[in-house]
Structures are given as structure tokens and as C-alpha cells.
Homo-oligomer: A and B are copies of this chain.
Amino acid sequence: MLKTPYLLFLGDAPDALAAKVAQGIKDWRPDHVVGQLRLPGCGADMKVADMGLEEAYAAGARTLVIGVANRGGVISKAWMEVLKDALRHGYDLASGLHNLLKHEPELVALAYELGRALHDVRVPEVMYPIANGIKRAGKRCLAVGTDCSVGKMYTGLAMDAEMRKRGLKSTFRPTGQTGILITGDGVPLDAVVADFMAGAVEYLTSDNDADHWDHIEGQGSLFHVSYSGVTMALIHGGQPDALVLSHEPTRTHMRGLPSYDLPSLEALRDMVLPIAQVANPNVRIIGISVNTQHLAEDDALAYLAEVEGRMGLPTVDPFRQGAGRLVDALAAL
């Protein structure tokens, strides 16, 4: 688990897109953010205070989170100086980069000497068990998509935020690196060894209060042949009580698979339900979340209404409209 709050390291990110991990933290866990640290030439701005290491530490920051992708997959010399300085100032480091902090001998040696932690959130830090399938207390909700990257994480975060706003018991359970950096905890499921995937999800979503909801971050798609095994493990390890179908209506083919068409929402519904019933016979599909970012407002609303009529389920874009109706549907279960 990462120590909070964070100082967000934006490095020399050329634009906001390159700093989308930092943006996610700022959007969803503003309380975790003390400030941002930018290098000369940085074009991204989280609209929080620019701070140096000393100032942010004094303001409470305990982890420097690398909130930006590095260019060319190399940790530059300029970055390295900042990271070493951060360790010296008392920070742990957290990163979702492909090249690991743990593979940088200078950082490893310094962190060891100073007793700091290096968190590479792409890599599991836990020996997960084999899943046992035993029914757990508490409730769980999972978004499953017609494709990868259709807004499943956003849906879970939005439902969790809405529930907490209403004073209901709720936890977002990340299964990918951005989610883990946002909340400070989770399972990097795509890096878990096959036999332990479902067990890792059970570990992530253990027993809880009867009226508590875990919002499990979805991954992949049952229809995406590269990653469908990960999705399957999420469904059977998570044994969700509620499913949300997620879709992006302007996609012309499955992400990264030009010869694969997207399934219809009906096809997803018909495939996922019997699969999810294996782990939880009482599972219900409670709604649909649509990522309408590529549609104009009128077109988006018309599309949502059309889907809602066709599927008979509350259908929203949680970004445009909030997740209130999805949370209403959970409450009605």
C-alpha cells in the first residue's frame, strides 16, 4: 500500500495526455495530492500548487508518484536526480513505468540505505493464493466491456464516488496500474501468473460488511482474444453480485485487432451472464455505461435513450451524467 498523500511528479511531460496518471489521481483522489513537481519544459498542469521536494514534504507528502509516461522507455538523468533527491528527502517512490524502479541499481541502493520503499505498481508485490471460490460477505460490482478501454475503470470510480457521496459503504478495487496509483492499493492483474489470477481477485475483494460494495476495476473483454482470460479471472474471482455492461459506440473494430468486430451489447449480455452465474447464481446486470466522448451532446443523449429502450436497463455516460442511476440500480437490488 502506498503512503499518502502524494507529490505528483510530472517530469517534462509535453502535454496533459502524457500525464494522464497524474490527472486520474487529481480527478479521483484530490485529497491525496499535495502538489505537483514539474521540470523545465513541462507542458502539463494539474492545477495544483507547484512545489519542491522540501516544501511538499513539509506539507505532508510521503510518496513521489511518477504521474507521467517516460519518453523512449528510459529514465533520464534529469529524472534520476529528482528521484534520488526525493529518497533523500524522505519520500517513497511509486511508478507504473514499464522500466522498473527496482531495476535501477542507484535507486535500489539509496532506498535500501535510507529505508525507503520503491513501488513498481506493474509488478505484483504479493504471493497470491489459488482461488477457492468460497462465497464472501459483502457485495461486489464489476464492469465488463464489449472491448478494452471503453470506460470500465471510470465507471467503477464514478460509482464508488457517488456511493461515498451518499454516505454508503464503498471501495474502488483497482486491478491496473493507473487505478493502483490513484487509490494507493490494488492488484496489477495483467502481471499475475495465470494460475493465481482468480485468487488475486479474491484477495483484493475479501470479506466485508454485508452492505459494503466493492467496485472492481474491469480489464480486457470476453470478446478480446488477447486478454479475455484476464476478464474471465475477474468474473470468477470477483464473483460479482452486479454487472455493468460498458461500451464505446464509435469503435470500428476491437482495440488492436483490426479484423475483429465489436460485439453487440446483447451478445455481451448473453455471454457474460451464464459465465458470472458459475461463481454467483444471483448475479444481475444492473445497467449500462457508455463512453460517449466522441459523440456530440445531442447524439450522445439519443444514443443512450436508444440503448436504454432496446436493452431495458438504465444506460448512462457516467462522465456526462454521473453514475447516480447506476447506484440507484445497485440500491434497488
CB of B226 within 8 A of CB of A229, answer no
CA distance A228 to B239 in the complex (A): 13
Q: Give how many copies assemble into the complex.
A: 2
CB of A233 within 8 A of CB of B237, answer no
Residues of B within 8 A of A150 (CB): none
CB of B274 within 8 A of CB of A194, answer no
Q: Taking A191-B193, A193-B191, A274-B270 as contacts, is the C-beta distance between A198 and B229 under 8 angstroms?
A: yes
For the complex formed, measure the closest distance between the CB of A280 and the CB atoms of chain B, giving whole angstroms. Answer: 10
On chain A, the number of residues with a Cβ less than 8 Å from chain B's Cβ atoms is: 43
CA distance A233 to B223 in the complex (A): 11
- Determine the residue in chain B with the shortest Cβ distance to A263: B278
Interface mask (A266-288 → B, CB under 8 Å = 1, otherwise 0): 01001100110011000000000
CB of A227 within 8 A of CB of B275, answer no
| One of A125-133, A206-214, A303-311, A318-326 contacting the partner | A125-133
Residues of B within 8 A of A254 (CB): 133
Q: Confirm or deny: A197 has a beta carbon within 8 angstroms of a beta carbon on chain B.
A: yes
Q: Confirm or deny: A222 has a beta carbon within 8 angstroms of a beta carbon on chain B.
A: yes
Q: Taking A131-B225, A199-B226, A236-B225 as contacts, is the C-beta distance between A192 and B191 under 8 angstroms?
A: no
Q: Confirm or deny: A260 has a beta carbon within 8 angstroms of a beta carbon on chain B.
A: yes
CA distance A132 to B256 in the complex (A): 8
CB of A229 within 8 A of CB of B223, answer no
CA distance A195 to B225 in the complex (A): 11
Interface centre among A197, A228, A271 (most CB of B within 10 A): A228
Residues of B within 8 A of A226 (CB): 130-133, 195, 198-199, 236
The listed residue (B132, B191, B222, B225) touching A257 by CB distance below 8 A is B132
Instruction: Provide 22 A-B residue pairs closer than 8 Å at the C-beta atoms, listed in order of the A residue.
Output: A132-B226, A133-B225, A133-B259, A133-B260, A135-B259, A190-B194, A191-B194, A194-B230, A194-B233, A197-B229, A198-B225, A198-B226, A198-B227, A222-B275, A222-B278, A225-B279, A226-B236, A228-B275, A229-B230, A229-B231, A260-B278, A271-B275
Which 8 A-B pairs have CB atoms at the shortest separation, nearest pair first? A229-B233, A225-B236, A232-B232, A229-B229, A131-B226, A190-B195, A229-B232, A133-B225
Binding site for B on A (CB under 8 A): 130-135, 189-195, 197-199, 222-223, 225-233, 236-237, 239, 254, 256-257, 259-260, 263, 267, 270-271, 274-275, 278-279
